Structure 1
Amino acid sequence: MSVRELVVLGTASQVPTRHRNHNGYVLRWDGEGIMFDPGEGTQRQMLHAGVAAHDLTRICVTHFHGDHSLGLAGVIQRINLDRVPHEITAHYPASGERFFERLRYATAYRETVALTRSPVAADGVIATTEAFTLEARRLSHPVESFGYRLVEPDGRRMLPERLAEHGISGPAVGELQRGGVVGGVTLADVSAPRPGQRFAFVMDTRLCDGVHALADGCDMLVVESTFLAADTALAREHGHLTAEQAAKVAAGAGVRHLVLTHFSQRYPDATAFEREARDAGFTGRLTIARDLDRVPVPKRR
């Protein structure tokens, strides 16, 4: 059975707290496991969350600040220790190649796994599979940062009543899906359009064109909201978003499920982020992320 869900490993900002580990997220997407921004402690959080090294197929790093990448060394070594049998691809800003190299070889270990480097240098599609395309968009932060967006191709939903009307059943259904026509009956005669799902991951950034492009039409948007609106000037200075800004982007982009995360330790009450997002006009499903949450991707439209 296919599973599409976000596993939250850590939700803190630069400073972890007793209840919030440094960043770490895994998107389970059918047979893929995409890890985003493994901060310190990610390996242990994986154990708590029931995520195995074998589950991972890609690692996406938005930028090379420590709370988003210091856990990379441990994750890579665990992948090799567990002898993951498949190739794993790592995406990260090309300008941070030296940091990736240092983290990958932070200490001695035995390499047993094919880890393919795929540095990101510009906006656009960075990977294509049969199931989705993975895109990157440049963000606005003191160091080079990219957000990521997964887009499933549009498809078609078979309509049982139409199939019955045209006498299509059994193996003929699969033949029709593959070839587009069976006995004069076309795929359009017995199906309806099914929009592909969209997921975006946006970390440390000011408001910029990249944020809006990544959020557009997403079923799930995972986005930093380090600050509250009272500290908007501070957010801008340090290259971050407020919960109000993130919620307004999501509302304008038609996001179905908004996941706010990456909270500054200066705010002890996380419900303030929920109030601010609602006051900003976001009416869809809203999650104020907590460590070890499992958040299902909304079902297809």
Structure 2
Amino acid sequence: MHQPSRARELVVLGTASQVPTRERNHNGYLLRWDGLGVLFDPGEGTQRQMTLAGVSASQVDAICITHAHGDHCLGLPGVLQRLSLDGVTGPLPLVHPAGADEYVDRLRSASVYDDRLSVDLRPVAAPGPVLELPGLTVHALPLQHSVPTYGYRLVEPDGRRMLRNLLQDKGIGGADVGRLQREGMLRTPGGVVELADVSEPRPGQRFAFVMDTAPCAEAVALARDADLLVCEATFGDAEADVAAAYGHLTARDAATIAREAGARRLVLTHFSQRYRDTAPLLAQARGVFPDTVVAHDLDRIPVPHRVR
């Protein structure tokens, strides 16, 4: 369904909240991870935004929807229909809150088309792992919003980093390195070499996606040690009372979550239409968490390189 690639980046398809603007499409985020594509919250217009961003529907290997508000899911019919048009047969995992079942069903049958795509529905009713993808496990935790809402955490398994100097000391090179990685040990003229003798632990990377929610412990848990945290920042400090009333975060709230979770980089998005200029929101967030960026439609934001 996708072309091989080693890129790890977030393709931003839309950054608006309830009302799109001239500058911002409804939500949509494609995480590209070593050739894998995970689409989050395809709001209205996502199919067109993908074209503008230079990515195809056939690069989507899974879809995760946080909740059934329209700015997070109204683009689903177009994406599914485009996949069928492009000859993709699936199965395509579609993760969503169990409480959104009826809305997802309606979106899947919103119009007449030649449906050749097998959709693997994955309704989420409890926290925990919800999907296994090549090299990634998708976890879900409930958030605090006005409708059933889940955030997502993608975790790469821990591995080991081969140490060149130790391999040279043991006289190991070429195909023997791969054999040692696969089998965990290697017989050499100098004796048996264990994988641990010539390598060190390499923590897997993490990606977190936190949308419409009040501040909560689950948001921090999703973001724990994330290399890249994508988080709603619907309001600024002056509208903190509005954020609290509607179950949303301010930019400062998002930064506080990132700081408490020990995240590496924070991406702010999902802005209210009242903010044409997001510079004040960025300043408020950076006062709490310096490594913060504001997402703009069609941005490509790289996942920070692995920490050695």
TM-score tier by shorter-chain length is over 0.9
- Listed as ranges, the gaps of 5+ residues in structure 1 are none
Q: Does 1:204 align with 2:212?
A: yes
Q: Does 1:110 align with 2:114?
A: yes
Does the CA contact (< 8 Å) of 1:251 and 1:283 recur in 2?
no
Q: Does 1:231 align with 2:235?
A: no
SS of 1:12's equivalent? coil
TM-score of the two chains, using structure 1 as the length reference: 0.97
> For 2:62, which of 53, 58, 63 is the aligned residue?
58
> For 1:290, which of 296, 302, 305 is the aligned residue?
296
**CA-CA distance at 1:130 after TM superposition:** 4.4
CA distance in 1, matches of 2:15, 2:129: 27
Give identity over the alignment, percent. Answer: 55
CA distance in 2, matches of 1:131, 1:8: 22
Does the CA contact (< 8 Å) of 1:8 and 1:293 recur in 2?
yes
**CA-CA distance at 1:278 after TM superposition:** 1.4
> For 1:84, which of 85, 88, 106 is the aligned residue?
88
CA distance in 1, matches of 2:254, 2:77: 30
Q: 1:105-184 maps to which residues of 2 (within 5 A)? A: 105-183=109-187, 184=192
**CA-CA distance at 1:82 after TM superposition:** 0.9
Residues 39-78 of structure 1: per-residue CA shift (max 9 Å, x gap): 1111100000011011000010000001101111111111
Q: Does 1:188 align with 2:196?
A: yes
CA distance in 2, matches of 1:297, 1:131: 15
Residues 224-259 of structure 1: per-residue CA shift (max 9 Å, x gap): 000012211110111100000110110121111100
- Report the AA paired with residue 279 of structure 2: T
Does the CA contact (< 8 Å) of 2:28 and 2:40 recur in 1?
yes
TM-score of the two chains, using structure 2 as the length reference: 0.95
- Report the AA paired with residue 161 of structure 1: N
Does the CA contact (< 8 Å) of 2:231 and 2:254 recur in 1?
yes
SS of 1:19's equivalent? coil
What is aligned with 2:97? 93
> For 1:31, which of 7, 28, 35 is the aligned residue?
35
CA distance in 2, matches of 1:103, 1:147: 21
SS of 2:39's equivalent? strand
**Greater Cα offset, 262-271 or 134-143:** 262-271
CA distance in 2, matches of 1:50, 1:122: 36
CA distance in 2, matches of 1:243, 1:130: 33
Q: How large is the RMSD of aligned CA atoms in angstroms? A: 1.0
What is aligned with 1:253? 261
> For 1:22, which of 19, 22, 26 is the aligned residue?
26
